[in-house]
Amino acid sequence: MILAIACDLKEQTTFAIVESIPLAPKEESHRVSTLYDTNRIEWNRQEEIAERMIPLIGRLYRADGLVTNLLGRRIINCSPAEILQAHRFTRETGDEILDPEKTYAMLAALEGVPCGPASLDVARLVREFDAENGSWDAAALAGFLRERLAEAIEATRADPTDVVLYGFGRIGRLVARLLIAHQGAGDGLRLRAIVVRRGSADDLVKRAELLRRDSVHGPFAGTIEVDAERETILANGTLIQVIYSDDPASVDYTRYGIHDAIVVDNTGRWRDEEGLSRHLLAPGASRVLLTAPGKGDIKNIVFGVNSDRIDEDDSIVSAASCTTNAITPVLAALDAAYGVERGHVETVHSFTNDQNLIDNFHKGARRGRAATLNMVITETGAAKAVAKALPQLEGRLTGSAIRVPTPNVSLAILNLELGRDVTRDELNAYLRQTALTSPLRQQIDFSENPDAVSSDFVGTNRAGIVDGLATLASGDNRAILYVWYDNEFGYSGQVVRVLERMAGVHPAILPHRVPVHAEAALV
């Protein structure tokens, strides 16, 4: 039996509904003769509870804009097995695995709360309610949710913001997938168009196929339809206008009903204010986000670190690089707890499409050699770029890079001199807790899997993943950390977060996250 508590906060009344939910029938005792049978029956029971969560999760998302997660693991559009896997992850905090029945009860109660858009950690809500209450009482839960979700209850829905993708390469297509997946009630970011140069007579079909199939990230989750006459792509209900142009200033977005759009330039062709300002000459475009390091006075934003620097009057913003996004949150956390005196960053980076499949001319040293056959020593500006997000680290970091024959997922090795002595256990405990509960939880993940390799991190939505088993620290002020990152998908997630902040639609994160203190994390 599951206690499903519904709270009608609009009418300021509460009531409890106790449902006798017909779960998988208990078999006769003589049939439950082995541990195998016992485990199978318990799994079926939990799986059925998870199945009943799915409609609740979907309605909360589509009707209210509530993004539900368990310690940062999203449970939207998940299978029952994936939801139960997210429950297993909750033991990472040192607590018992979250009870799926309590998760179901909390989700049912949330349906009665008149919330605006927010990101809700249901695991924390359950545990905090458990800690404050001896039993799952409807009135107590209603009051608890009123208090914890006051910010979301009072929130008003923002007007939707049009988004245009200028360029449709690796990052452009992944950002498109994320925007489509985040469509929800349609009152946040709306992907309205992509702008490309026409490549062939069947260009539209080819663009749609590249969105539909990806050799690294797998097939598109949903349906895609092409309208050749209107030159549109319909993806999971999102109608995307394909616009062909060779010049940003020549596009009139208002012809397609697009107004005050944020243009995401993922071509990398222009990186300074003069070049990127050409987008602002196009009717219907009001702001620009560059998915590469910006030059000059352009703000380079690493979401979670310096995203509070984004102002309403910023017409051009950069989301920095994938490597800068991977290492800066970790460096920010370390600098806050220990101080970063100096260090060297070595990136072992997957090849990218600016390299050659076979030996050919390239303006850069060594990059002309075959990408799939060689490790290529090259340069990176990521270490110096950290200072644009963390000015206190100006001049303290050097960097170099090695391109390797893998298509995705890279590794940053941070060789650091800290402001005080630290042990390996203390460092790992601090970074683990930072990844679980701190304001940097969306940026940093933590792994201690003894068999983890690069392909295990394909599709990771965090900017960087600390490999705790590889951490080196022996009690002095020297430390070496290994940080994995999906240089495509993880970075694209950061781009979307910057987009949300620029549009003023980044959801409230509840319950509020709290800073982690190094000494307390080790206890």
Q: Distance (Å, rounded) from C-alpha 50 to C-alpha 63?
A: 20
Of the candidates 285, 299, 310, the residue with the CA atom closest to the CA atom of residue 501: 310
Residue 212 identity: R
Task: Name residue, tokens 């017909």.
Answer: 22
Tell which residue, 490, 502, 498, has the closest CA to residue 465.
Answer: 490
Q: Which of 7, 78, 115, 322 is catalytic?
A: 322
List strands edge to edge, sheet with 66-70: 73-74, 66-70, 118-121, 508-510
Instruction: For residues 135 and 129, give the distance between their C-alpha atoms in angstroms, rounded to a whole number.
Output: 9
Residue 257, amino acid = G
CA–CA separation, 47 and 64 (whole Å):
26
- Which pair of structure tokens corresponds to residue 300? 């380079």
For residue 501, CA distances in Å to 118, 139, 182, 400 come to 13, 36, 15, 31
Sign of torsion, CA 292 298 300 304? negative
Q: Please answer whether residues 75 and 69 qualify as being in contact, where contact means their C-beta atoms are separated by less than 8 angstroms.
A: yes
Quote the CA–CA distance of 130 and 136 in Å, as a whole number: 8
Inter-CA distances, 186 with 78, 83, 377, 494, Å: 20, 24, 45, 20
**Angle, nearest 10°, between helix axes 424-437 and 322-337?**
120
Q: Which two tokens stand for residue 40?
A: 């199978």
Question: Beta strand 2-8 with 13-19: parallel, antiparallel or unpaired?
Answer: antiparallel
The answer to whether the peptide bond before residue 329 is cis (omega within 30 degrees of 0) is no
Residue type, 344: H
Catalytic site residue 115? no
Terminal-residue alpha carbon distance, the chain: 37
Please name every residue paired with 194 in a beta bridge, in sequence order, or none if there are none: 165, 242
What tokens appear for 275 in the block?
């070049």
100-110 and 138-148 are packed helices; what angle lies between their axes, rounded to 10 degrees?
70
As a whole number of angstroms, the distance between CA 320 and CA 443 comes to 14
Distance CA 72, CA 111 (A): 20
Q: How many beta carbons lie within 10 A of that of residue 169, not counting itself? A: 15
Query: How far is it, in rounded angstroms, from Cα 68 to Cα 107?
Result: 9
Query: Cα torsion at 141, 145, 146, 148 (round to 10°)?
Result: 140
For the chain, give the number of residues: 523
Catalytic residues: 322
